[in-house]
Amino acid sequence: MRLLIVGASGGTGRLLVGQALDAGHDVTAFVRDPARLPLTHPSLRVAVGDAMRPESLAPAVRGQDAVLCTLGAKPEGADAHRGQPSVPVCSVGTRHLIEAMSAAGVRRLVVESSVSCGESAATGRWPAPWIVRTVLREVMADKELQEAAIRASGLGWTIIRPVKLKDGPPTDRVQVGADVGWGITSNVSRADVAAVMLRVTADPETIGAALTVAP
């Protein structure tokens, strides 16, 4: 498949790029700073742009089979100033991405969100949902707006809601589903989340689903 990965220099995004290339896909990595993605591969194209500038997304979206979005609410490094609450990167950037996809006729969209969004708040063990929504109030508000835009997009979307992310290798021992329970100590590796995102992209049964990823 021809895959565009938006947020490709982030923690999950970098792993997603590597896994997609290992699986034989043609990958376009959309990044603000190519120096943060020190990877070369015959099937990799790096597109430099900014999801907050919609005109930079259109050339990267055209011709893709699917788009995987891992925009983060707390950018790192030189982009740290773009974090919450002043810049709603997740919701605004995703709206720009949806517009570019609609204009280009690209239908498949897989987005990394977070537990405690939407109905996943009801599957969390108390007090986990309350803590997440209190401590990360601005971040979660941005992600709720992001998910609302996705649901209203008319695209073939899947939302992936991981619990707390950690570094480490993939374990292939995660639960994925709309009703998966989670708690304040639940955590999964970014590598496992990347693997789930890549897997569901080719699974039409997950279109229109918001899936929690937990241990």
Domains and CATH numbers, the chain: 2-214 (3.40.50.720)
Element (H, E) at 110: strand 108-112
The pLDDT assigned to 88 comes to 84
What is the block-wise mean pLDDT of the chain (215 residues), using blocks of 10 residues?
Answer: 96 97 98 91 96 94 98 60 66 96 98 96 94 90 96 98 95 95 96 98 98 97
pLDDT for the residue 63 = 97
Q: Which two tokens stand for residue 137?
A: 């109030």
Rounded Cα distance between 147 and 36, Å, is 27
Instruction: Say what the pLDDT of residue 208 is.
Output: 98
C-beta neighbour count of 148 within 10 angstroms: 15
Task: Look at residue 81 in the predicted model and tell me its pLDDT.
Answer: 54
Instruction: Tell me, yes or no, if the pTM score tops 0.85.
Output: yes
For residue range 45-72, what is the model confidence (pLDDT) as tens digits? 999 999 999 999 999 999 999 999 999 8
DSSP 8-state secondary structure symbol assigned to residue 163: S
Q: Which helix (H) or strand (E) holds 128?
A: helix 128-135
CB-neighbour burial class of residue 38 (10 A; exposed 0-12, middle 13-18, buried 19+) = exposed
Distance of CA 70 to the CA centre of its chain: 3
Q: Is 30 helix (H, G, I), strand (E, B) or coil?
A: strand
Distance CA 70, CA 113 (A): 8
Classify the phi-psi angles of 170: left when phi > 0, otherwise alpha if psi is within -120 to 50, otherwise beta: beta
Check if the beta carbon of residue 92 is closer than 8 Å to that of residue 146.
Answer: no
User: For 46, phi and psi rounded to 5 degrees?
Assistant: -100, 120
Which residues are paired to 69 by β-bridges?
6, 111
pLDDT at res. 172: 86
Strands 164-166 and 175-177: unpaired
